[in-house]
């Protein structure tokens, strides 16, 4: 039985690709359910099967070798016969694995759906991941072991049943805040899909409107479309809707404003999809940001015929356009310069108005009220004031060497 290295497979871009564990072997065990039911590994959860989720996360972490253990009939047609790293769930396979694997081993219950950070926590040192339930400590189903340090009986017990309360002597590590669920029924899979999409809808950089309005709608759309429509299709649709909203605003600002707000909601769906399906990429975020800048500028320019022409108005319109771009630019430039997230480092900025979702909501309300000049005046002040506050807070953070601001 050979060892499957992921080095020959393509790695999805994203934050996880920078951390590598190529000296670790992962064994993902898909035990049958009670009553002889098949393993739930092929249940779709937020657009991916459990099998696909395991493989994606292990690729993200660049785990060196992977074995899949389970009933061969469970795996996709042709998959088990063409992969020597797919093995039946029996004692003989467990013994063979013990003789073949080298170094440290992750044993993972294939019925688990979890976030990559949970696996990172397990990889740090040999341990058994546990959680508290009704006052008792129970294994989650993720073990980090060194085969030479446990006897053959314990090894076979863990391979055949990753939830085994084996007396391995390993230190216990709490799963804590890390997300995980065990999937045993289709109802569990549906609940996990809801939880994953809801978690994908939480971004530290979201403004007030996104946190309390947009995400409540966009996550429902994402649950309906994930796995059925590609994130790229949503990105393009959102971009075209934004340009259409700008075109409509040239003759009906009220209707254009409503369409612009719908665009703002839809703009969150593609990101939620990519996070839910573990397929985020720097290019996706980059191109989405560029499209947003085009849509924002197009909509504001479309409103200019509705304000009186004067030198003062031209200055205000220019300040509005410039400030709207600079709010996003300061955030993205911070990430490029300091390799960190602005809203994580300077938490108060999450609560200072002027982010894109808040600007669009203000535009919609004032378009409905027919106060077009007020849009330019308010955004000119709000966005440039926010940029100034951002510069002050970042300067204070970097000059001080530490950040009391994170505690706010």
Domains, the chain, in order of start with CATH, read 4-192 (3.90.550.10), 204-407 (1.20.120.1760)
pLDDT at 1: 32
DSSP code at position 402: S
Note the pLDDT of residue 39.
Answer: 61
Q: Rounded to 10 degrees, what is the CA torsion of 246, 250, 256, 257? A: 90
Instruction: List, for residues 123-180, the tens digit of each pLDDT value.
Output: 888 888 888 777 777 888 898 888 878 888 888 888 888 877 655 667 888 888 889 9
Given a cut of 70, is residue 181 above it in pLDDT?
yes
pLDDT of residue 36: 53
Over range 187-205, report the average pLDDT.
Answer: 91
219-256 per-position pLDDT tens digit: 999 999 999 999 999 999 999 999 999 999 999 999 99
Q: What is the pLDDT of residue 84?
A: 60
List the alpha helices (DSSP H) in 47-176: 50-60, 79-82, 91-100, 116-123, 152-160
Q: Which of 71-80, 206-215, 266-275 has the lowest mean pLDDT?
A: 71-80
Write down the H helix ranges in 124-214.
152-160, 186-200, 208-209
Confidence of residue 15 (pLDDT cuts 50, 70, 90): very low
Instruction: Identify the band that residue 12 occupies on the pLDDT scale cut at 50, 70 and 90.
Output: very low
Q: What is the pLDDT of residues 299-311, one digit of tens each?
A: 999 999 999 989 9
Spatial CB neighbours of 202, under 8 Å, sequence gap ≥ 6: 215
For residue 233, what are its two tokens? 């299709």
User: 295 pLDDT band (50/70/90 cuts)?
Assistant: very high
Say if residue 81's pLDDT is above 70.
no
CB neighbour class for 325 (10 Å; exposed up to 12, middle 13-18, buried from 19): middle
pLDDT at 35: 53
Q: What is the mean pLDDT of residues 324-333?
A: 93
User: Residues 189-211: what's their mean pLDDT?
Assistant: 92
Q: If you average pLDDT over residues 191-215, what whole number do you get?
A: 92
Phi, psi of 84 (to 5 degrees): -80, 0
pTM of the full structure: 0.84
198 pLDDT above the threshold of 50: yes
pLDDT category at 64 given cuts 50, 70, 90 is: confident
What pLDDT is recorded for position 33?
65
- 348-406 pLDDT, tens digit each: 999 999 999 999 999 999 999 999 999 999 999 999 999 999 999 999 998 875 544 44
Enumerate residues 6+ apart whose C-beta is below 8 A from 336: none
Res 106 pLDDT > 70: yes
Q: Could you tell me what percent of the chain has a pLDDT over 70? A: 87
Question: Do residues 248 and 240 make contact, with C-beta atoms less than 8 angstroms apart?
Answer: no
* Of 19-28, 178-187, 238-247, 275-284, minimum mean pLDDT range: 19-28
| Other Cβ atoms within 10 Å of 327 Cβ, number | 22
- The Cα–Cα gap between 250 and 244 comes to 10
Which of 23-27, 81-85, 100-104 has the highest mean predicted lDDT (pLDDT)? 23-27
Pairwise pLDDT comparison (190 vs 171), residue with the higher score = 190
**Rounded mean pLDDT of the chain?**
85
CB 130 within 8 A of CB 173: yes
């Amino acid at each position: 039985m050979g060892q499957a290295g992921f080095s020959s497979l393509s790695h999805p871009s994203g934050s996880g690709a920078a951390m590598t564990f190529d000296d670790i072997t992962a064994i993902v065990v898909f035990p049958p359910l009670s009553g002889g039911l098949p393993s739930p590994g092929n249940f779709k959860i937020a657009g991916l099967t459990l099998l696909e989720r395991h493989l994606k996360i292990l690729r993200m972490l660049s785990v060196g070798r992977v074995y899949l253990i389970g009933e061969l009939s469970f795996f996709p047609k042709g998959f088990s016969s063409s992969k020597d790293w797919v093995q039946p769930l029996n004692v003989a396979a467990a013994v063979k694995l013990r003789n073949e694997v080298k170094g440290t081993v992750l044993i993972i219950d294939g019925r688990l759906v979890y976030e990559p950070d949970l696996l990172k926590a397990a990889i740090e040192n040999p341990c058994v991941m546990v959680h508290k339930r009704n006052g008792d400590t129970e294994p989650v189903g993720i073990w980090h072991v060194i085969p030479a340090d446990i006897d053959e009986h314990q090894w076979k017990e863990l391979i055949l049943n990753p939830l085994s309360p084996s007396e391995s002597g390993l230190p216990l590590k709490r799963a804590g805040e890390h997300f995980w669920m065990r999937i045993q029924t289709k109802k569990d899979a549906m609940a996990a899909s809801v939880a994953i999409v809801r978690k994908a809808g939480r971004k530290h950089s979201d403004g007030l409107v996104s946190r309390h309005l947009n995400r409540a709608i966009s996550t429902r759309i994402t649950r309906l479309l994930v796995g059925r429509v590609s994130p790229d299709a949503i990105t393009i649709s959102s971009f075209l809707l934004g340009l259409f909203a700008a075109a409509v605003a040239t003759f009906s600002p009220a209707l254009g404003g409503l369409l612009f707000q719908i665009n703002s909601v839809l703009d969150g769906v593609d990101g939620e999809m990519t996070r839910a399906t573990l397929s985020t990429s720097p290019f996706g975020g980059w191109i989405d940001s560029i499209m947003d800048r085009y849509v924002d500028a197009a909509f504001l320019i479309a409103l200019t015929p509705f304000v009186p022409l004067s030198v003062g108005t031209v200055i205000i319109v220019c300040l509005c356009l410039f400030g709207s771009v600079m709010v996003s630019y300061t955030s993205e430039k911070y990430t490029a310069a300091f390799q960190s997230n602005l809203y994580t480092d300077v938490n108060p900025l999450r609560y200072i108005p002027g982010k894109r979702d808040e600007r669009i909501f203000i535009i919609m309300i004032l378009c409905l009220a027919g106060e077009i000049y007020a849009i330019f005046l308010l955004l000119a002040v709000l966005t440039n004031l926010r940029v100034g506050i951002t510069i002050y807070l970042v300067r204070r953070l970097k000059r001080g060497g530490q950040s009391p601001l994170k505690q706010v």
